[in-house]
Each structure stands twice: as structure tokens, then as C-alpha cells.
């Protein structure tokens, strides 16, 4: 071994170390961002979507008072602004509450349990706007508006 | 080779780091699995229980008071009509453990318990006021309505029927009727008539005595 070769040894060693660290970090980032993180994000988003839908349905069901001659109820509803970084809409079609999300896997529907007095449920909630329930009517006919 | 001892230390530390990452991801997995509840099941049981005991439901006489006859006639399809979220769900409803409605096996689903009273009505009780002898009859508390049949004899005019001092029936020309009157459920009621002297005939009062029992309503569902 010449003196020149011996001087090269630490250089090669350090380069090797740096290379291993870079490779390690790259593989870790690939594994986490390629598989684990998106999976968690979807699982959490599906859970949030389910809960949002059920909470909204509960709020509507709870806002309809027992029969009385005049009904005038306004309630605000807290909805998450986004699910999986996308805004969504909630509306009611034929007594079924529907959550419209750009991702079909995160959309959902749940039937509402409301008395027969409720003749219509109209309107739509957009997740990035304040949401409120308005219930108007009398003893026989009650209308519910989402706004 | 002396210079490469650094490399060994590096590999060892990277292995440790990998181990820590794996443990972290495992914990995150467990936390996510723990948080995976089924809000749909919970929604089904709460709406079914809420609608069953609601004041305006066909199964109740008032809020949280179930009608025994209506409860006996309950079926899965009636539950669905009452609470649409129960569609296609395995559901079991019991009163103090006694099954009322069962469809499928909702093991592992959500369960909710409600304290309710079950109201059943006795056979009709007939009480008669003989106008020539007495003028009052006492109705026990809890009775919300009674049928009053006035059948006066000749030469007798009965104009007013009082229930605890309140006028419930009046006809200036003389009563001859068979009507349902509403009474206060919160205390005993005295039904009084003023036949005057030498009156004949009878006033029949018919009512059903309600019986209330405190029970636990349990709803289990798995959507």
C-alpha cells in the first residue's frame, strides 16, 4: 500500500457512509409516503366521513320538536371543512341524507328517521360555509331547510 | 480496516432507527384500529330508541311511556317504517330481557338502553250513580278519560255533570247522552251530578284503569 492509497481510505469510508444514509432516508420516505401514509389518510378520512354524516343526521333529527301549533327552530351545525383535503356537500334526497365527496369511496348515505309531519327537507350544506338547520311549520306540516 | 469501524456504528444506528419506525407504525396502526367505531350502528340504535319512545310515535301514550298493546304488535317492518335507518340491519329489541322484535343476529353491534314505563289498560270498570240514592262517584287517579252515559227516568231533568268541580257536560234542556269526557290524570276525580229531589234514573261511568310498569328498553343493532 502506497502512502497515496492510505490517504484515500477515509475518503472512501466517508463517501460510503454518506451514500448509505442517503439510500436509507430515501427508502424510508418511499415506504412511508408510498404505502403507510396514504392508507392511514384514507382510513381516517372514511371514518371522518361516516361520523360527519351521522352527526349531521342526528342534528336534523334532534332539531324537529314535538307537535306544536307553531314551529320555528334554527340550529347551527359544525361540519369539518374538508375530508381528505377536499370540500364536500351534504343534501337530503327522498328522506335519505347524502354526502357528496369528490372521492366516491368517501361519499355516503344514511336514511333519516323523521316523523311524517315533515313534508320536505330541502337545501344543501357546503362544507366550507357555515351550516344551519331551519325548521318551520305548524302542527300538521313541518319543513326543514338546510342552509 | 480501522477506518471502517465507523461504518459498523452507522449500520447499527440505522437498524435501531428502523426498529423505532416499525414500532411507531405499529402503535399508529393499533390506535387507528381502536378508533374504528361504527357510527352507523350507533345511529341506527339511537334513532330506533328515540322514535320508539317519542311523544308522537304510534307506540307511546306520551313521551317515554309505551303502550303495551302497540308494543305487542311491533314487528321489524313497523320498526323500519318508524325509523328508516333500521332498514337491512340485524336488530333486537327487548323489554327487561324479554324479546319484542328480533331480526338476524346483531352480535357485535351497538346497544342502547332506555328507561321507560309500559302502560297497559285494565278491563273497563263500570260504576253507576243511582239518581234516587246518591249523586257522586269517585274515579281513581291516572284515569285520563271516562265514558259518561246519562239515562234519566221520567220527571227527572239532569242539566250538569261535574268532574272535581269542573263542568264537563251541560245541556239546559236536560242531558240524555253517552259521551267521553276528559279528566285529570294527576289525581282522583269525583264525578258529581245534581239530580234534585225525587229523581229517578242512572248515570253510568265507565273507565279503564291504566297500569304502569317501569321497564328497561334495550335496542341492539348491527347494520
Which tens digits make up the pLDDT trace of A37-86?
888 888 889 989 999 999 999 999 889 888 889 999 999 999 999 998 89
Phi/psi of residue B40, each to 5°? -65, -45
Q: What is the pLDDT of residues B171-182, one digit of tens each?
A: 888 888 889 999
For chain A, the residues whose C-beta falls within 8 A of a C-beta of chain B are 9-10, 13, 16-17, 20-21, 24, 28, 32, 36, 40, 43-44, 47, 50-51, 53-55, 57-58, 61, 66-67, 95-96, 110-113, 115, 117
Count Cβ atoms below 10 Å from residue A71 Cβ, excluding itself.
Answer: 20
B155 pLDDT more than 90: no
Q: How far apart are CA A46 and CA B184, in angstroms?
A: 53
Subunit contact B40:A24, Cβ cutoff 8 A: no
Q: What is the pLDDT of residues A93-131, one digit of tens each?
A: 988 999 999 999 899 999 898 888 899 999 999 999 999
Quote the CATH superfamily of domain B125-207. Galactose-binding domain-like (2.60.120.260)
The stretch B195-202 carries a mean pLDDT of 81
- Mean pLDDT score of chain B: 87
Q: Is A147 helix (H, G, I), strand (E, B) or coil?
A: coil
Q: What is the pLDDT of residues B8-52, one digit of tens each?
A: 888 899 999 999 999 999 998 898 888 777 888 889 999 999 999
Tell me the pTM: 0.74
Residue-range definition of the domain harbouring residue A8: 3-146
Q: How far apart are CA B28 and CA B32, in angstroms?
A: 6
**Residue ranges of the domains in chain B?**
2-34, 39-121+213-222, 125-207
The stretch B193-220 carries a mean pLDDT of 88
A16-52: b (≥16 Cβ within 10 Å) or e: ebeeeeeebeeeeeeeeeeeeeeebeeeebbbebbbb
A2 pLDDT more than 80: no
Res B219: pLDDT: 92
CB within 8 A of A21, min separation 6: which ones? B10, B14
**Residue of chain A nearest B39, judged by CA positions:** A51
Count Cβ atoms below 10 Å from residue B44 Cβ, excluding itself.
Answer: 33
Question: Do the Cβ atoms of B115 and B212 come closer than 8 Å?
Answer: no
Q: Which residues of A touch B42 (CB under 8 A)?
A: 54
Closest partner CB to B40 (pick from A9, A110, A112) = A110
When divided into structural domains, chain A yields a total of: 1
Beta bridge partners of B171: none
Res B57: pLDDT: 86
Question: How many interchain CB pairs under 8 A, A with B?
Answer: 72
Q: How far apart are CA B154 and CA B176, in angstroms?
A: 12
Amino acid at each position: 500500500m502506497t502512502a497515496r492509497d492510505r490517504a484515500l481510505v477515509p475518503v472512501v469510508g466517508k463517501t460510503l457512509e454518506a451514500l448509505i444514509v442517503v439510500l436509507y432516508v430515501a427508502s424510508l420516505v418511499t415506504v412511508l409516503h408510498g404505502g403507510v401514509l396514504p392508507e392511514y389518510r384514507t382510513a381516517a378520512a372514511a371514518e371522518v366521513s361516516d361520523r360527519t354524516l351521522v352527526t349531521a343526521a342526528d342534528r336534523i333529527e334532534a332539531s324537529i320538536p314535538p307537535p306544536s301549533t307553531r314551529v320555528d327552530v334554527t340550529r347551527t351545525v359544525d361540519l369539518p371543512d374538508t375530508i381528505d383535503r377536499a370540500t364536500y356537500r351534504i343534501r337530503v334526497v327522498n328522506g335519505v341524507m347524502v354526502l357528496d365527496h369528490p372521492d366516491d369511496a368517501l361519499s355516503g348515505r344514511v336514511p333519516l328517521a323523521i316523523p311524517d309531519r315533515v313534508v320536505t327537507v330541502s337545501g344543501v350544506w357546503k362544507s366550507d360555509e357555515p351550516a344551519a338547520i331551519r325548521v318551520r311549520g305548524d302542527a300538521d306540516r313541518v319543513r326543514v331547510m338546510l342552509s | 480496516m480501522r477506518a471502517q469501524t465507523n461504518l459498523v456504528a452507522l449500520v447499527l444506528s440505522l437498524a435501531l432507527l428502523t426498529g423505532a419506525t416499525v414500532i411507531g407504525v405499529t402503535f399508529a396502526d393499533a390506535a387507528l384500529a381502536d378508533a374504528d367505531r361504527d357510527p352507523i350502528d350507533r345511529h341506527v340504535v339511537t334513532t330506533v330508541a328515540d322514535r320508539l319512545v317519542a311523544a308522537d310515535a304510534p307506540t307511546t301514550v306520551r313521551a317515554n311511556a309505551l303502550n303495551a298493546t302497540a308494543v305487542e304488535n311491533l314487528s321489524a317492518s313497523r320498526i323500519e317504517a318508524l325509523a328508516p335507518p333500521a332498514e337491512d340491519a340485524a336488530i333486537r329489541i327487548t323489554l327487561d330481557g324479554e324479546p319484542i322484535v328480533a331480526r338476524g343476529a346483531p352480535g357485535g353491534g351497538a346497544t342502547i338502553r332506555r328507561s321507560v314505563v309500559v302502560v297497559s289498560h285494565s278491563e273497563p270498570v263500570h260504576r253507576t250513580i243511582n239518581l234516587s240514592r246518591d249523586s257522586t262517584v269517585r274515579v281513581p287517579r291516572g284515569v285520563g278519560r271516562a265514558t259518561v252515559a246519562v239515562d234519566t227516568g221520567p220527571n227527572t231533568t239532569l242539566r250538569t255533570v261535574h268532574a272535581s268541580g269542573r263542568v264537563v257536560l251541560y245541556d239546559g234542556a236536560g242531558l240524555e247522552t253517552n259521551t267521553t269526557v276528559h279528566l285529570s290524570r294527576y289525581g282522583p276525580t269525583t264525578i258529581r251530578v245534581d239530580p234534585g229531589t225525587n229523581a229517578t234514573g242512572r248515570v253510568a261511568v265507565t273507565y279503564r284503569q291504566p297500569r304502569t310498569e317501569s321497564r328497561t328498553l334495550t335496542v341492539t343493532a348491527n347494520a
